[in-house]
């Protein structure tokens, strides 16, 4: 009997702490004013540039973001610190990232009506992992009591879609009957809260998804995966240079280049047409057109990017129902953004409705999965 991989469950966990644009701006502007005052002579002599002030209006106009969740809020708004104060945990305790991964995993398993004992593999895929080894996925696997295997993946903002494709391939090949994919996006430690152009971009979140064979699916809402597609084109326009080799280079391990930084205008100009073409080409391979799709679960990086991409695809502005935006509440959550949109906006679809999950980000990396709603049980 032919095995068809299906997406049978999903989970979205969010931290209890929220930081609004207004809170973030107060902290940033206090830092900027302090910096300008302390460096007034160098600024007057043209040796360094003054720090421009930020505003809630600027943030929302530039990105569509109004707030973001934070795993640890303490420290982020402290002008003398401006980074989360995450307490270290001893090696015998569950790691921070494994904890938020488990929070989402439990929700996805419940949504799919699955027990952890039915899972064969765990993939933890996100923009950053808090350590090199052992893999966070193996730690999660152990905590859930799963017999099988687990591994971590890092593909920046496309980590979720790329991992879902690996799960799809495993189920198709019969190397696993059920795969748990988790995206614990703990992004706040990599945000430069002293940079006006990026201090507002990211939020913390965790999503999880179940990919399994249609023969074992017992979920109320499930989706046949009609096809997957991935591509990468190297670019330096989105970058973080933090890594273990810094220990050997004698470079500042906490320098600004070690945090998230980007050439935003270049990213906008280059990624929008790449993403639109990627989706169009993927649909053509499946003998589909953009007009055949009911829902677009797009990567949540920037409101203006999503509006332009959907307009390129549809020839008109997509409605909020067609291409839901979650940036206002969640901000950019790296790879989890498109999965947040899916979690919040999929159960209203009817049998036979089509949708696409698509991510695009650093690399550049672009990934997509075309889904078809199965019969509601």
3-state SS of 206-224 is EEEEEEEECCCCCCCCCEE
Distance CA 129, CA 126 (A): 7
Q: What angle do CA 299, 158, 19 make, to 5 degrees?
A: 55
Question: What are 278's two structure tokens?
Answer: 């990627």
Neighbours of 244 (CB within 10 A): 8
Going from the C-alpha of 323 to that of each of 10, 158, 189, 298, 340, the distances in angstroms are 19, 18, 30, 7, 12
Distance CA 196, CA 24 (A): 11
Which residues does the annotation mark as catalytic?
A: 157
Going from the C-alpha of 373 to that of each of 89, 128, 293, 300, the distances in angstroms are 42, 32, 11, 22
Residues with Cβ within 8 Å of residue 216, at least 6 apart in sequence: 118, 177, 178
Q: What angle do CA 210, 345, 153 make, to 5 degrees?
A: 40
Distance CA 102, CA 236 (A): 33
Instruction: Say how many residues make up the chain.
Output: 377
Render 313-338 in DSSP notation, one character per residue.
HHSSPPPTTTS---HHHH-B-GGGHH
């Amino acid at each position: 009997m032919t095995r068809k991989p299906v997406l049978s469950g999903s989970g979205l966990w969010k931290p209890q702490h929220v930081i609004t644009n207004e809170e973030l701006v107060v902290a940033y502007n206090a830092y900027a004013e302090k910096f300008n005052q302390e460096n007034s002579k160098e600024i007057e002599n043209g040796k360094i540039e003054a720090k421009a002030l930020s505003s809630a209006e600027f943030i929302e106009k530039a990105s569509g973001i109004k707030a973001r969740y934070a795993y640890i809020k303490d420290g982020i708004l402290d002008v003398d610190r401006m980074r989360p104060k995450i307490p270290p945990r001893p090696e015998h305790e569950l790691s921070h990232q494994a904890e938020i991964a488990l929070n989402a995993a439990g929700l996805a398993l419940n949504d799919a009506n699955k027990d952890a004992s039915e899972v064969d593999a765990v993939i933890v895929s996100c923009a950053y992992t808090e350590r090199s080894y052992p893999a966070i996925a193996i730690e999660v696997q152990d905590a859930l009591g799963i017999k099988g295997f687990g591994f971590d993946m890092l593909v920046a903002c496309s980590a979720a879609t790329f991992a879902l494709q690996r799960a799809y391939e495993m189920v198709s090949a019969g190397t696993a009957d059920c795969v748990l994919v988790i995206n614990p996006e703990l992004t706040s430690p990599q945000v430069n809260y002293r940079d006006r152009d990026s201090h507002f971009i990211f939020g913390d979140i965790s999503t999880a998804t179940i990919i399994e064979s249609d023969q074992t699916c017992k979920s109320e809402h499930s989706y046949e995966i009609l096809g997957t597609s991935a591509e990468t084109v190297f670019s330096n326009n989105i970058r973080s240079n933090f890594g273990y080799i810094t220990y050997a280079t004698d470079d500042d391990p906490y320098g600004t280049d070690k945090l998230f930084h980007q050439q935003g205008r270049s990213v906008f100009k280059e990624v929008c047409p790449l993403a639109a073409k990627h989706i169009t080409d993927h649909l053509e391979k499946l003998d589909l057109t953009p007009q055949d799709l009911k829902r677009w679960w797009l990567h949540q990086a920037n409101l203006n990017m999503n509006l332009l991409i959907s307009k390129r695809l549809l020839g008109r502005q997509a409605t909020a129902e067609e291409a839901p935006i979650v940036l206002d509440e969640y901000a950019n959550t790296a790879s989890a953004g498109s999965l947040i949109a899916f979690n919040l906006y999929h159960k209203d679809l009817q049998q036979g409705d089509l949708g696409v999950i698509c991510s695009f980000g650093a690399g550049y990396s672009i990934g997509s999965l075309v889904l078809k709603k199965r019969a509601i049980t």
